[in-house]
Amino acid sequence: MVQPLGWDVVSQNDLGVAEVEETGLSFVENALLKARNAAAQTGLPSLADDSGLAVDALGGAPGIYSARYSGLGDAANNEKLLRELNGVANRRAQFICALALVKHAKDPVPLICLGQWSGEILTAPQGEQGFGYDPIFKPDDCDCSSAQLSPERKSARSHRGLAMQQLLQQIASQQGQ
């Protein structure tokens, strides 16, 4: 997704970056913690993401706890969410992605971008693509679950795709100054 910038991208795993505890109270805070952690350990600029699912009827849960909602992985997270929404009419939800880009660990002006993908929670899983809550999330702009979308189609419209598009626009704008 960052090919237009001509950047060489290396994953934090490939660089041996130890994970930081996600102690933030928001997606933005956690993305910034991860970016600063990677920059501190590598001495390189760092881009980090924190994403999750916010369900209206659950007051925004699972939210920042999306990946560890049940404590037992993706399938168990989906099962728990479907149990909690059993009989609930309002199934509105949003996937949210926060991206944080820092030039160095103490960058006083990090670049923060947010993407949101609205939809509803299905009553049963559908599809095999993707991960996490994809099989039970039906985006507003689709007639299927996000797990039934091709990777290209999902990337173009998802919360991560939207946040990345915003990041590329902001970087292009800064470079044009």
Binding site as annotated, residues for substrate? 51, 131-134, 154, 159-160
Residues 6+ apart with CB under 8 A from 100: 28, 31, 32, 34, 35, 36, 47, 48, 49, 50, 110, 111, 112
Question: What's the CA gap between 1 and 96, in Å, rounded?
Answer: 18
Which positions make up the binding site for Mg(2+)?
Answer: 21, 50
Which positions make up the binding site?
Answer: 21, 50-51, 131-134, 154, 159-160
Active site residue 50: yes
Which is catalytic among the residues 8, 49, 50, 56? Answer: 50
Question: What's the CA gap between 112 and 123, in Å, rounded?
Answer: 34
Helix (H, G, I), strand (E, B) or coil at 113: strand
The catalytic residue positions are 50
